[in-house]
């Protein structure tokens, strides 16, 4: 670990068990933690203006290096003053390294999703991984593209994010132990190359987070945790497969989290279901990015305090006609303050864009309430009861004494 407050500093304000409430200070302001990070994958948060994301209470968004590399390209974004200028977003930005998308193309994983964004289904499947980096075809036009640790860091430098993530191989669940071990070792060699490039060429005020890999194997996670912790990084992300189901994920995280330096800000990559996020917070993880809240909105699914349906309320299915309740009683979002399920379900089934927007506003408000509530509960020393209340079906703003309405 290195620690240069010019780039980034992390202040832990309160602890409750392993959970902690803190502030990550970046070149573009503070991030109060625990925090959920909305995705601005291609440079916008779905159906929202940049200013609105801040108005919802968010201080950090995630831009996607792979997608922005493919289009519009880093030069165009750099010319606009980086991603901050391009989007006119004044608070902090974290960029992923592109590794997840590239290796999804290679390994299957989320390949369908990634290919779905391209013009041709055929381009994406050819990825050639070597020690040097990954060569693949643009899903946009089939052009050959190459990402290496140096290219990823260079693109992230052009994007000008406050926090860059190192280029790693995101090993999938179906990789065997031997492949995972060799891949994790390569990820560590790539980490050194990322830091070397960044030390020489990276923006002075850009922080770098390393990524712990190792799949579901305790010894590999331990080795990886040691390698990342010993490197000169400003924070640590947990990546790679966390297993086949929620139970295995919980156990891989419970095994990995304690291996990491307590004082480091920690990012759990790609996880943002309500229960998983609370589980991560309990283990001392600080920030969480996830496509789910905005992706669900596109499919008409609102977040709601219903553990039995994984916190999902499907407004596309039938049965909501005449229902005068808001999506969630007591929710402070514009959708819940102004509209009922009758209207939102009709709009969603009619595929009106207004429905997507209303549910995005709701889901991001819900996630922000969830982390704000967790933060307050940690400060109150009541995180366990807050978590239990949410898991039992309480909305975050009413989750017992940990809720935001109590001192």
Using CA atoms, how far apart are residues 315 and 97, in angstroms rounded to an integer?
35
Using CA atoms, how far apart are residues 380 and 283, in angstroms rounded to an integer?
17
Does the annotation count 245 as an active-site position?
Answer: no
Q: What angle do CA 370, 373, 378 make, to 5 degrees?
A: 125
Q: Which is nearer to its own copies, 90 or 309 (CB)?
A: 90
**Which candidate in 141, 162, 289, 340 is catalytic?**
289
**Which candidate in 16, 96, 162, 276 is catalytic?**
96
Does the annotation count 289 as an active-site position?
Answer: yes
The candidate with the shortest Cα–Cα distance to 367, out of 313, 331, 330, 314, is 331
Q: Which is nearer to its own copies, 30 or 334 (CB)?
A: 334
Q: Give the 3-state secondary structure of residue 392.
A: coil
Q: Which is nearer to its own copies, 143 or 353 (CB)?
A: 353
Q: What angle do CA 61, 253, 398 make, to 5 degrees?
A: 60
CB of 322 to its own copies, least distance (A): 6
Token output for 211: 């990524």
CB of 339 to its own copies, least distance (A): 6
Three-state SS letters, 101-159: HHHHHHHCCCHHHHHHCCCCCCHHHCEEECCCCEEEECCCCCCEEEECHHHHHHHHHHH
Burial of residue 3 (number of CB atoms within 10 Å: 0-12, 13-18, 19+) = middle
CB of 76 to its own copies, least distance (A): 5
Q: Which is nearer to its own copies, 178 or 324 (CB)?
A: 324
CB of 248 to its own copies, least distance (A): 35
Is 102:66 a contact under the CB 8 Å cutoff?
yes
CB of 45 to its own copies, least distance (A): 7
Q: Which is nearer to its own copies, 49 or 263 (CB)?
A: 49
The residues of the shown chain that bind its own copies, judged by CB under 8 A, are 42-51, 71-72, 76, 79-80, 86-88, 321-322, 324, 334-335, 338-340, 342-343, 346-347, 349-350, 352-358
Q: Which is nearer to its own copies, 348 or 380 (CB)?
A: 348
Q: Give the 3-state secondary structure of residue 173.
A: coil
CB of 319 to its own copies, least distance (A): 13
What residues are labeled active site?
A: 96, 289
């Amino acid at each position: 670990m290195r620690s240069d407050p010019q780039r980034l500093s992390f202040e832990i304000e309160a602890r409750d068990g392993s959970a902690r409430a803190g502030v990550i200070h970046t070149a573009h302001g503070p991030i109060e933690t625990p925090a959920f990070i909305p995705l601005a994958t291609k440079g916008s948060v779905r159906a929202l203006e940049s200013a609105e994301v801040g108005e919802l209470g968010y201080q950090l968004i995630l831009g996607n290096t792979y997608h922005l590399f493919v289009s519009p390209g880093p030069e165009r974004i750099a010319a606009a003053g980086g991603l901050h200028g391009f989007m006119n977003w004044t608070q902090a930005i974290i960029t992923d390294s592109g590794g997840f998308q590239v290796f999804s193309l290679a390994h299957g994983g989320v390949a369908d999703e990634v290919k779905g964004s391209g013009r041709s289904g055929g381009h994406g499947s050819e990825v050639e991984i070597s020690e040097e980096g990954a060569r693949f075809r643009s899903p946009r036009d089939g052009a050959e593209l190459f990402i290496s640790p140096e290219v990823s860091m260079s693109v992230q430098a052009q994007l000008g994010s406050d926090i860059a993530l190192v280029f790693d191989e995101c090993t999938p669940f179906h990789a065997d132990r031997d492949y995972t071990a060799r891949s994790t070792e390569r990820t560590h060699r790539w980490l050194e190359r990322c830091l070397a490039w960044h030390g020489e060429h990276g923006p002075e005020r850009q922080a770098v987070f390393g990524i712990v890999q190792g799949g579901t194997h305790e010894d590999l996670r331990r080795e990886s945790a040691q390698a990342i912790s010993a490197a000169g990084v400003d924070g640590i992300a947990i990546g790679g497969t966390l297993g086949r189901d929620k139970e295995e994920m919980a156990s891989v995280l419970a095994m990995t989290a304690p291996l990491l330096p307590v004082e480091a800000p920690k990012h759990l990559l790609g996880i943002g279901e309500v229960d998983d996020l609370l589980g991560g917070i309990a283990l001392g993880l600080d920030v969480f990015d996830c496509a789910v809240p905005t992706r669900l909105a596109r499919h008409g699914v609102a977040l709601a305090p219903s553990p039995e349906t994984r916190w999902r309320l499907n407004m596309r299915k039938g049965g909501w006609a005449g229902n005068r309740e808001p999506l969630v009683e007591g929710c402070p979002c514009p959708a819940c303050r102004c509209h009922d399920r009758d209207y939102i379900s009709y709009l969603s089934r009619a595929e009106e864009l207004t429905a997507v927007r209303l549910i995005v506003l709701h889901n991001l408000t819900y996630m922000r309430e969830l982390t704000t509530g967790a933060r307050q509960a940690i400060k109150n020393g009541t995180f366990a009861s807050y978590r239990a209340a949410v898991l039992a079906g309480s909305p975050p703003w009413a989750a017992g004494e940990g809720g935001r309405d109590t001192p």
